[in-house]
Amino acid sequence: MNLLIMGLPGAGKGTQAAKIVEKFGLVHISTGDMFRAAIANQTELGLSAKSYMDKGDLVPDEVTNGIVKERLAQEDIKEKGFLLDGYPRTLDQAEVLTAILKELELQLDAVVNIEIASDKLVERLSGRIINRKTGETFHKVFNPPADYSEEDYYQREDDKPEAVKRRLDVNIAQGQPIIEYYRAKGLVHDIEGDQDIDLVFEAIDKVLSNLK
Ligand code: AP5
Ligand code: MG
């Protein structure tokens, strides 16, 4: 099964992606996670991505398309299937992805679109905390970890108020045409994102279980 998960920043893509790949055994490909890993390792890719990400802007398409193509071409994808999270994010990326999939003889089965009003997202992002060791995402109020401590959890650089505002503006502007692109192909499944994490997953699970 080959899937995209879409939604505004804070909609719950990463949270649901973790549950989906656990249940369905897919490879999770998050462009945001790939860029953050490159920044942590201080690679050339990381250095160029950081200046865009810290401001809440998109990394240029040619950079992002390149890393996605490289990852999709690896052996495990054909075996396990993939879940792309945070890509495509521009119409150009969507068109490039269509070409990449064709070249690699892969087919997209569904687009999971998590819907939520943008005014709910600031509190989701400002309360997000990530475990330094496991990389797991939690929320100070909505999904608190049992063992919270300031040393063991951190907040993302781009969850600071200025960058959050910019990320929401950029993604609201770019997101709709991409959803329409996939709606025209009959691939989009809308999921209500403003409910408990487990209920969002139940709704996604129902859709995906019917696809198989
Ligand atoms: P990326 O890492 O993709 O960030 P994003 O799209 O802004 O999305 P987030 O990861 O912030 O949110 P999410 O939907 O995963 O929510 P989460 O599950 O964590 O991209 C970051 C940056 O990288 C971009 O700004 C750009 O610069 C660059 N980039 C990445 N991809 C790119 C691309 N394709 N092209 C160009 N540039 C690219 O949940 C958020 C919080 O809410 C958590 O605390 C969670 O616990 C909580 N929560 C989740 N679900 C619920 C729920 N149902 N109820 C209550 N709380 C919930
Ligand atoms: Mg995420």
Distances from the Cα of 31 to the Cα of 78, 197, 206, angstroms? 19, 22, 26
The per-residue pLDDT for range 79-93, each reduced to its tens digit, is 999 999 999 999 999
Is residue 34 in a domain?
yes
Q: What is the extent of the structural domain holding 83?
A: 3-116+175-211
- 158 domain residue, yes or no: no
Tokens of 106: 């892969």
Residue 53 placed within a domain: yes
pLDDT digits (tens, 9 = 90+) for 168-194: 999 999 999 999 999 999 999 999 999
What is the count of structural domains for the chain? 1
| Residue 190, pLDDT score | 98
Residue 127 resides in a domain: no
pLDDT, position 98: 98
Helices and strands, number each (H, E), in the chain: 9, 8
Is residue 154 domain-resident?
Answer: no
Whether residue 162 lies inside any domain: the answer is no
- Which residue ranges in the chain fall short of pLDDT 70? 212
Tell me whether residue 149 is in a domain. Answer: no
Q: Write out residues with Cβ below 6 Å of ligand 1.
A: 7, 9-15, 31-32, 35, 52-53, 56-59, 64, 86-87, 89, 93, 124-125, 127-128, 137-139, 142-143, 158, 167, 196-197, 200
The whole-angstrom separation of Cα 87 and Cα 133 is 25
In this structure, is residue 16 part of a structural domain? yes
> Among this protein's residues, is 132 annotated catalytic?
no
Check residue 41 and give its pLDDT: 96
pTM (whole model) above 0.85:
yes
What CATH number does the domain containing 192 carry?
3.40.50.300
> How is 177-206 classified by DSSP, letter by letter?
HHHHHHHTTT-EEEEE-SS-HHHHHHHHHH
pLDDT at 45: 95
CB 9 within 8 A of CB 164: yes
